[in-house]
Structure 1
Amino acid sequence: MFTIANGVILKGENLVPSRENIVVDEGRIIEIGKESSEGKIIDVDGAVVCPSFINAHIHIGDSIIKDEGYGLSLSEMVKPPNGVKHVALSNASDEELIEAMKSSMWEMVESGTTHFIDYREGGIKGVKLLKEASKDIPIKPIILGRDDSFYGDDPDLGKVKVAVRKLLEIAEGIAPSGFGEITIDVAEIISRECEKAGKISSIHVAESESNQIESLNNYGLSEIEKGVKTNFSQLVHLTNPKNNDLELVSQSNQSTVVCPRANATLNVGVAPLNKMLELGLKPLIGTDNVMLNSPNMFRELEFSLKLMSIYHNDYLNPIDLLKMATTNVCGFKINDIIQKSMIMEGNFAEFIVCNSFSKNPYLNIINRCESKNILYTINKKFSI
């Protein structure tokens, strides 16, 4: 048992700042209060206590080819099966993949991340490799698998269903690349089987303008419309919405994820975060391919805050942005799988304690902090 004393705590789903103490026992927050004090006292006078980060979208297997292929198009970089990424993954040994993934996970831990959602290539073997790599690291991977049987113009739907069910026995969900690689029939099998299993179905949508145009020309539906109609529980990117795409998503109960740095690196656009927030969406945020960006959420948050303000000619509320990396996930059905906690009594202890540099605790985290400014990272897997 220990007490984090005299910190400025960002409490609850809305990250309300309050100068109080937090008592933690066996991985749970048992009391929050100005006079609360039990066990070992850790005085962090004036430091900011923030929920630890969830990196909501990452391809950690890319860790083996950091910064390779810079300047290539989205398809040349990541489209299966011949993109730079997929060729590199097919040529790498298991040992190379594990060591590279370990390195990226430690970088995430050191920069305040305790959970990440990974789009895992390589079928069942790929899922098992990430589980092996993460077993001794204080971080929780939420692994979404995929299988080569998903792809092609005329896939064997029987084989697809079998592959999905086998993956769901060991993974937290399924994540095909995008609608440019799978048929509607395959999409419906994935979302239906995931829903039956109570797991996550996730897919990239509207990452590029060309993807959207191709989808509209060939099917009369945007990729976002396809994602909503096929009932995926999570839609990633939404960088190039058309017509009433975002309104359609706002009327569904689907989780959304944005990846601004990856979109910028691949030159595919800027996610309309301001409009998403106006419509009542509560997006998550991720760093995407490790081959493109470091998995450091501090860097993602600062970049996004400033990019959105310039692009939309309006300031992005830093509270809303910080929620994307912390508590927004707690409001979605998928949190039953992720189990990421906000700072409240009775919840798991999942928070970071950072040096204070300014009177604004949100901008302090987003605009000032770096990995070296984290005093403590507390989570239920490993604790002080």
Structure 2
Amino acid sequence: MFTVSNGIILKGENLVPTRENIVVDDGKIIEIGKDSSEGKIIDVDGAVVCPSFINGHIHIGDSIIKDEGYSLSLSEMVKPPNGVKHVALANATDDELIDAMKASMWEMVESGTTHFIDYREGGIEGVKLLKKASKDIPIKPIILGRDDSFYGDDPDLNRVRTAVRKLLKLADGIAPSGFGEITMDVAEIISKECGKAGKISSIHVAESESNQIESLNNYGLSEIEKGVKTNFSQLVHLTNPKNDDLELVSGSGQNVVVCPRANATLNVGVADLNKMLDLGLKPLIGTDNAMLNSPNMFRELEFCLKIMSVRYGSYINPVDLLKMATTNICGFDINNIIQKSVIDEGNFAEFIVCNSFSKNPYLNIINRVETKNILYTINKKFSI
């Protein structure tokens, strides 16, 4: 048992700043209060105590080819099966992949991340590989698998259904690449089987303008409309919405994940976070392909803060932005696959304690703190 005392806590789902003590026992927060005190005292006078980060979308297998293919198009980089990434993954040994994924996971841990949602290539073996790589690292991967049987213009739907069911026995959900690679029939099988299993179905939508135009020309539906129509529980990117796409998502109850830094790197645009917030959406933020970006959420947050005012001419509310990397996960209600990372009594103790450089605790985290400024990372699996 120990007490983190005298810090400025960003408390609850709304990250309300308050100066209180946090008592932790056996990995859980058992008490929060101004006079609370048990066990070892850790005095963090004036430091900011923030929920640990969740990286809402990453392809951690890409860690084997960091910064390769810079300036290539989206399709050239990541479209299966011939994208730079997929060729590299096919040619890498298991040991190479494990070592690269471990390095990225440690980078996340050291920069305050305790959870990440991974789009895992390689079918069942790919899922097993990430589980093996993460075994002794204090981080929780939420693993979304995929299978090569999903792809093509005329897939064997019985084979697809079997592959999905097998994957769901091991993975936390299913995540094909995008609607440019799968048919609507495959999409519906994935979302239906994930729904029956109480697991996550996720897909990239509207990442590029060209993807949207191709979808509209060929099907009369935008990729976002397809994602809503096929009931995927989680839509990723939404960088290039058309017409009332975002309004459609806001009424569907589907979860949204955005990756502004990766989208900017690939020159496909930047998601309009302010409009999403105005519509009542509560996105998560992810760093996306490890080959493009470091998985450091501080860098993602700072980029998002500044690019919104440049791209859309209006400042984003810092507390809303910080929620995208922390407590917005509370809205992702999918059978408790994703643990709530909220500083409140009764919750698991998962938070970071950071130096304070600013009177604004939200901008302090987003705009000032770097990895070296984390004083403590409290994790339910590995405390202090």
TM-score, L = length of structure 1: 0.99
1:337 partner SS: coil
1:149 partner SS: helix
One-letter code aligned to 1:329? I
One-letter code aligned to 2:47? A
Cα displacement (A) at 1:340? 2.6
Alignment match, 1:332: 332
Alpha-carbon distance in structure 2 between the residues aligned to 1:278 and 1:334: 24
Alpha-carbon distance in structure 1 between the residues aligned to 2:78 and 2:310: 28
Cα displacement (A) at 1:40? 0.3
Cα displacement (A) at 1:339? 1.1
Deviations 1:201-244 (A, max 9, x none): 00000000000000000000000000001000000000000000
Cα displacement (A) at 1:270? 1.1
Question: For residues 146-157 of structure 1, what are the structure 2 equivalents within 5 Å?
Answer: 146-157=146-157
User: Which has the higher mean CA deviation after the structures are superposed, 235-244 or 374-383?
Assistant: 374-383
1:367 partner SS: helix
* Alpha carbons of structure 1 residues 335 and 8: separation in structure 2 relative to 1, 3 Å: farther
User: Which has the higher mean CA deviation after the structures are superposed, 163-172 or 325-334?
Assistant: 325-334
One-letter code aligned to 1:343? I
Alpha-carbon distance in structure 2 between the residues aligned to 1:133 and 1:348: 24
User: Does the Cα contact within 8 Å between 1:13 and 1:328 map onto a contact in 2?
Assistant: yes
Alpha-carbon distance in structure 2 between the residues aligned to 1:206 and 1:335: 27
1:336 partner SS: coil
Alignment match, 2:114: 114
Which portions of structure 1, spanning 4 or more consecutive aligned residues, are displaced by more than 3 angstroms? none
Alpha-carbon distance in structure 1 between the residues aligned to 2:132 and 2:314: 45
Alpha-carbon distance in structure 1 between the residues aligned to 2:254 and 2:9: 29
One-letter code aligned to 1:239? T
Cα displacement (A) at 1:112? 0.2
Alignment match, 1:4: 4
1:231 equivalent in alignment to 2:231: yes
Cα displacement (A) at 1:252? 1.0
One-letter code aligned to 2:90? S
Query: What residue ranges of structure 2 are gaps of 5+ in the alignment?
Result: none
Alignment match, 1:297: 297
Alignment match, 2:81: 81
Alignment match, 1:196: 196
Alpha-carbon distance in structure 2 between the residues aligned to 1:30 and 1:212: 49
Alignment match, 1:175: 175
Aligned positions, number: 384
One-letter code aligned to 2:17? P
Cα displacement (A) at 1:360? 0.3
Alpha-carbon distance in structure 2 between the residues aligned to 1:335 and 1:73: 37
1:338 partner SS: coil
User: Does the Cα contact within 8 Å between 1:127 and 1:145 map onto a contact in 2?
Assistant: yes
Query: What residue ranges of structure 1 are gaps of 5+ in the alignment?
Result: none
Alignment match, 1:51: 51
2:115 partner SS: strand
Cα displacement (A) at 1:335? 6.6
User: Does the Cα contact within 8 Å between 1:115 and 1:140 map onto a contact in 2?
Assistant: yes
Alpha-carbon distance in structure 1 between the residues aligned to 2:115 and 2:270: 25
Cα displacement (A) at 1:309? 1.2
Alpha-carbon distance in structure 1 between the residues aligned to 2:211 and 2:48: 42
Alignment match, 1:374: 374
Deviations 1:63-94 (A, max 9, x none): 00000000000000000000000000000000
Question: For residues 188-337 of structure 1, what are the structure 2 equivalents within 5 Å?
Answer: 188-334=188-334, 336-337=336-337
Alpha-carbon distance in structure 2 between the residues aligned to 1:194 and 1:254: 14
Deviations 1:244-267 (A, max 9, x none): 000000001110000000000000
User: Does the Cα contact within 8 Å between 1:3 and 1:21 map onto a contact in 2?
Assistant: yes
Alpha-carbon distance in structure 1 between the residues aligned to 2:4 and 2:309: 35
User: Does the Cα contact within 8 Å between 1:329 and 1:335 map onto a contact in 2?
Assistant: no
1:137 equivalent in alignment to 2:140: no
